[in-house]
Amino acid sequence: MADLCAVVGVGQTKHASCRADVSIAGLVREAVDRALADANIGIDDVDAIVIGKAPDPLEGVAMPELWLADALAAHGKPVFRVHTAGSVGGSTAIVAAQHVMAGIHGTVLTVGFEKQSDGNAMWALSVPIPFGMPVHAGAGGYFSPIVRGYIKRSGAPSHIGAMVAVKDRTNACKNPYAHLHEPDWTLEKALESPMMWDPIRFVETCPSSDGAMALVIMSEERADKHAGPKAWVHATAMRSEPTAFAGREQVSPRAGEMCAEDLWRKGGITNPAKEIDVAEIYVPFAWFEPMWLENLGFAPRNEGWRWVEDGVTDIGGSLPINPSGGVMSTNPIGASGMLRFGEAAMQVMGKAGEHQIDGARKAVGHAYGGGSQFFAMWLVSSSKP
C-alpha cells in the first residue's frame, strides 16, 4: 500500500508568447523559486528532482536535464526526466508523487516547462513522415477530423466550441499568470473568428507559450509537521494506447476512459460530477472540453456539449472546468499538464486567488498527449482520504 503525500508548494511563471527576458534555465528557476517560497522551504530541503518537457527536437537544447542540473541546484541529488508528449506535465507530477508514495524520498521538487519561442513545437510535430502523403497541418490538422467526428456523432451545434473559448479566455483574465488576457470576447465575435482547420476556428485554438510550473510534494510524515495549506493526493492514474489501430475510438479513447475509471476507483468516487468540486482538464482545442467531460465520466455520452451550453462548466456552475483559463489561454506544452495538476492543488489549498472556487475540497487535474494516447490524472483534496 502506497504512503500518502501532499502538495505543499506551487509556483508558476508569468506565461507569455515570448519570455525573451530569460533563458530556459531562468524560466525554470522562476517557477522553482516560487514553489519553494510557497512551501516555505529551501532547495537544501529537497531530496530529489523530477523534470518534464514535451518533445521538441530543436528547442534550444536537446537535453534539458543536462542543461538544468545547475539551475535546479541538483548537486548530489537524483534528477529524473519524464517524457510523454503533451501529457508530460501530468505524468511528471505523478512520477514525483510516486517517489514519495513509495517511501523513497520525503520531499520532491517537480517542474514542467516549455519555451516555445525558442523552437517551433507546432511544426516540429508536422515534419513529413517518410513515404507518406504530406497533407497533415500541425496539431489542429490532426485533431480537427476527430472534432468533426464528435460533432456528427453527438449532434452538437457549431457554436459550442466558441462558447468554451469565450469562457476560458474570460476566466484567464482572473489569473495573473495566464498568457492571454483578452477580456473582450463575446460569443458573437468568437463565431466570426476565421476557420483555421474547419471545423476549428482560430479562437478555438490554444496559444503557443513560454512557461513553467513547479510543485513541492512531501510525505505524510513531513506534511503533517508542515504549516500551511496542503493538497492531499488521493489518487493518481496513467494509461496509454497506440496512436493508430483498427477500429480505434478516437473521439473518446479507451485509454482515457480506463484512466478515469481507475482514478475514481482509487479515490473512492462513485459520482464524479457530484463529488468533484472543480477540474482543470487539458483542452488545447475548445471542443475537447465536452469531449473530455464524456471521456472522464462526468457527462453521459454525447451530452457533454449540453453541459457547456447550460453553463455547468462556468465558474458559477456546478462543475467549473478550467477556472484558470486552461490550455486555451496558456500552453507551454511541457508545463501545461503540470499547470492543470498544480491549479487543481491550488483550488483545494485555497490559493487560486480571483479564480478560486469557493469551498473547493476535491479537484481533478488531467492531461493528455500524443494522438490522444497518453493520459495522466490526479485527484487532490484539502483533507486526507
Partner 1 sequence: MSEADGIMRLRQPISVTYNWSAGPNATSHLNGLLDGTLVGKRCPGCSLVYFPPRNGVCPKCARILGEDVVVGPRGTITTFCVVNVPFLGQKIKLPYVAAQILLDGADISMQHLIQECEATDVRIGMRVEPVWKDRSEWGPSLENITHFRPTGEPDRDMGVEAGAS
Among 43, 79, 80, 141, binds partner 1 (CB under 8 A): 141
State the residue for C-alpha cell 519555451. 115
CB of 97 closer than 8 Å to CB of 233: yes
The C-alpha cell at 330 is 496558456
| Shortest Cβ 168–partner 1 spacing (Å) | 21
Q: Cβ contacts of residue 41 below 8 Å, gap of 6+?
A: 8, 9, 107, 216
Cα→Cα distances 82→30, 86, 121, 327, Å: 20, 11, 18, 20
Distance from the Cα of residue 279 to its chain's centroid? 10
Residues 330-369 that bind partner 1 (CB under 8 A): none
Q: Smallest distance, Å, CB 154 to partner 1? A: 10
Binding segment for partner 1 among 104-112, 162-170, 248-256, 325-333 (CB under 8 A)? 248-256
Choices 3-11, 167-175, 239-247, 275-283; region in contact with partner 1 by CB under 8 A: 239-247
DSSP for 304-315 reads HHHHHHTTTTST
Q: According to CB under 8 A, which residues from 29 to 48 bind partner 1?
A: none
Among 103, 176, 228, 242, binds partner 1 (CB under 8 A): 242
Report if residue 183 touches partner 1, rule: CB under 8 A. Answer: no
With binding defined as CB under 8 A, does residue 197 bind partner 1? yes
Q: Is 131 in the site for partner 1 (CB under 8 A)?
A: yes
136 binding partner 1? (CB under 8 A): yes
The C-alpha angle 130, 131, 132, rounded to 5 degrees, equals 90
Q: Which of 135, 155, 225, 316 binds partner 1 (CB under 8 A)?
A: 135
In the complex, the smallest distance separating the C-beta of residue 283 from partner 1, rounded to whole angstroms, is 18
Q: Which residues contact 89 (CB under 8 A, 6 or more apart)?
A: 52, 112, 213, 334, 335, 336, 337, 338, 339, 340, 341, 367
Query: Contacting partner 1 (CB under 8 A), which of 63, 75, 134, 316?
Result: 134
Q: How far is the CB of 293 from partner 1 (least distance, A)?
A: 17
- Cα–Cα nearest to 368, from 88, 139, 44: 88
Residues 146-165 that bind partner 1 (CB under 8 A): 146, 148-150, 152-153
Binders in 249-288 for partner 1, by CB under 8 A: 249-251
Residues 326, 168 contacting (CB under 8 angstroms): yes
Tell me which stretch binds partner 1 (CB under 8 A): 184-192, 237-245, 269-277, 316-324: 237-245
Tell me if 81 sits within 8 A of 69, measured CB to CB.
no
Sole window of 72-80, 140-148, 211-219, 356-364 interacting with partner 1 (rule: CB under 8 A) = 140-148
CA angle (364, 366, 370) in 5-degree steps: 175
Q: Are 206 and 15 in contact (CB under 8 A)?
A: no
Rule CB under 8 A: which residues touch partner 1? 18, 20-22, 57-58, 123, 126, 128, 130-138, 140-141, 144-146, 148-150, 152-153, 194-198, 242, 244-251
